[in-house]
Structure 1
């Protein structure tokens, strides 16, 4: 063997190790470094509570730092823009509600992002139904038929509260009006808390509120439950029928949350993130904590979330257009 052949073999032998680290990095488990989860709403919001529960479980299982950072403003748009501009390496994610992932696209024609195109959707994390509740001192009805009859008798002289224009409870009430042929004035508030407070005070007559937040007020008799918007009766409020049971066919609405990352995440990385976060949500202690608050763990696949998100955007666009609803 001559010198040239020996050098050729040596070069070939050195080439192989250069490729191996690249393959090892591609297969490296996520998270391999600290991760930040952006929540585009204030601390204490449902998105924040769920993100922190998931982050805590992830930190325990991975041994890596998982930080939740709140970037509120513009119904989630400010935080969303931060994530869109981030590197698609799994180091920055976003956990946000139905408004950021679907309703904004239906309600705001000048939205600066496309929730289906400008993110890597990872999964729907949780969902919770809304509950139609009334002030028991002002509304005599105890069932859906009686409530619809009362609303029609009032001929627009009733009002409902919501946690804000374009919120899940606002659009649920608008869809209810469209489906039942009833009228009522919308009084928006800056969150579910003040919307519920004014309902209890009698300044409005009814509201659709998330199950977990309204259940204690139902148990204490401060508001009366008429129906839930769930697909089946809920263990937290088993005495309340679903709207479908009560005669309003296919009136199934959930306020939901989802997790996503920047656009362009590698499919293998996205699959790792989805699997790790789904496992964190299903961790028994985490699942019980969230279930006790009224949330149902979904932890969907990426494919299921993509289809569901498209359906939700189309659904709420229809409600917005029929109701001629404008953003604030």
Structure 2
């Protein structure tokens, strides 16, 4: 009986290895759990073109927006673990567990494959806005508590976390206005319906350069090379403020290690392509391309970090 079980185990491993050896053999669907035109979507489409090139298969992006990414994540968690349905998620993947009850367990139902990019957020306002600096916004918000707004691409998103950290650090009482994605948030900020928005650079940098959005500050520790004259939030007077968004690839739990390794390799090759690198860098994004073990540790640390921030600052997914 033991010999029989051992034979079955060896056969299963061999079958899995043989299956992974030909991967991918069909179209890969990359599920982006945010709206088309947002930061994660823009980055995913650039990387998907590279993935198609290095894999020899079609790679399509499927937007499944809502609930700060959890709708799309739920879809992938329930997908067949064969490497053909892949999640391309953002920092909210690590924030959601601290704010809401989810229909999946991010630590148990997914395998992190590779961190694709990291990027600061840009605090933007409408071109016609009276705010030319973060200090302008803070001064007015302090004088008129509860009357000024900040947008996010969904409750529990990194944009909300950045807005809440600014609210606490600058001692202002502002109102959170959540959207179902970055694209509609940007539209309303441009139109002046919402005062400011910590926008992902991938969705906002080109608008800033074109004069369609006004950049007040950037969320990273250092200034962005693409916007050398825009100060950081820390430089603008909010002590210890540092927020950077990240995007990465995940597959459903149960995906074979061989397929995970192969997909990781393909992501890294895509990010190394000159066209991919230049496309991302034009949006202010820094390619990363970590391995699965590195990304797993990074995601676990991010979950712990944001859980502590949410608890300490009493942040809710309103």
**TM-score of the two chains, using structure 2 as the length reference:** 0.82
Q: Which of 94, 104, 124 lines up with 2:87 in the alignment?
A: 94
CA distance in 1, matches of 2:144, 2:13: 74
Structure 2 CA distance, aligned partners of 1:163 and 1:70? 14
Contact kept in structure 1, 2:32 and 2:87, CA below 8 Å: yes
Q: 1:56 aligns with which of 49, 53, 56?
A: 49
Alignment of 1:123-138 (within 5 A): 123-135=114-126
Corresponding pairs, count: 308
Report the alpha carbon displacement of residue 145 of structure 1 after superposing the two structures with TM. 4.6
Alpha-carbon distance in structure 2 between the residues aligned to 1:37 and 1:71: 10
**Cα 1:301–1:250, aligned 2, differ >3 Å: closer, same or farther?**
farther
1:181 equivalent to 2:174? Answer no
TM superposition score normalised by structure 1: 0.80
Alignment of 1:248-259 (within 5 A): 248-259=238-249
User: What does residue 36 of structure 1 align with?
Assistant: 29
Please list the CA deviations of residues 84-131 of structure 1 after superposition, one character each: whole Å capped at 9, or x if unmatched: 2334332332112222x22221221x2111112210111111122111
**What CA distance in whole angstroms lies between the structure 2 residues aligned with 1:67 and 1:199?**
30
Residue 307 in 1 paired to residue 302 in 2? Answer: no
Q: Is the 8 A contact 1:83 1:92 kept in 2?
A: yes
Secondary structure at the residue paired with 2:233?
Answer: coil
Residues 155-304 of structure 1 aligned to structure 2 (within 5 Å):
155-221=145-211, 223-304=213-294
- What secondary structure does 2:79 align onto? coil
Q: Which runs of 5+ in 2 are unaligned?
A: 1-10
Query: What residue is the counterpart of 2:8 in the other structure?
Result: none
1:122 corresponds in structure 2 to: 113
Distance in structure 2 (CA, Å) of the matches to 1:23 and 1:310: 27
The SS at the match of 1:125 is strand
- SS, match of residue 21 in structure 2: coil
Moved more, 21-30 or 212-221: 21-30
Matching residue within 107, 123, 144 for 1:154: 144
On the 8 A contact 1:124/1:257 being kept in 2, the answer is yes
Moved more, 180-189 or 34-43: 34-43
Q: CA RMSD in A?
A: 3.1
Pick the aligned partner of 2:18 from 9, 20, 25: 25
- Higher radius of gyration, 1 or 2: 1
Runs of 5+ in structure 1 lacking a partner? 1-17
Between the aligned partners of 2:182 and 2:32, the Cα distance in structure 1 is 18
Counterpart for residue 99 of structure 2: 107
For 1:78 and 1:205, the matched residues in 2 are separated by 28
- Pairing 1:81–2:85 present: no
